[in-house]
Amino acid sequence: MSDIKYKKGEKGSRPWGEWEVIDTGDRFIVKKITVNPGEILSLQKHNYRSEHWIIAGGEAEVTIDGTVFKAGRDKAFYIPVKSWHRIRNCGSDKMIFIEVQTGDILDEGDIERKEDVYGRV
């Protein structure tokens, strides 16, 4: 595990879009994640945290342990610890989702990638 800890207001960009930390607390982090049209996040899992995703805008394709769901605004998903998951923007506008991470270890070091179109595996 790394010692990278998220702080409220922190932002970052990725090849697929951008993220912003909305809030942090004891054993939780809330992020707003924006995915550009046609982009996809890596197929990944976490050993120490679960995630809750709420689609806030746009059209998403969510994969959790091999099951694919199409989703629009107000659809929510729970991703348990150690579940392989990813999200893709399948619309023509930016897709926004809110991610709530919960667990004992909440940092960038808890990402295991299986597939990634940007070569980060």
* More reliable by pLDDT, 1 or 21: 21
Set out the domains of the chain in order of their start, with CATH numbers.
11-115 (2.60.120.10)
> What's the rounded Cα separation, in Å, for the pair 101 and 121?
22
pTM: 0.93
Q: pLDDT digits over 57-99, tens only?
A: 999 999 999 999 999 999 999 999 999 999 999 999 999 999 9
Question: Following DSSP, what letter does each residue of 70-114 receive, concatenated?
Answer: EE-TT-EEEE-TT--EEEEE-SSS-EEEEEEEEES--STTS-EEE
Q: Which residues contact 102 (CB under 8 A, 6 or more apart)?
A: 27, 28, 49, 50, 51, 52
What is the pLDDT of the chain when averaged over all its residues? 95
Beta-carbon count within 10 A of 95 CB: 26
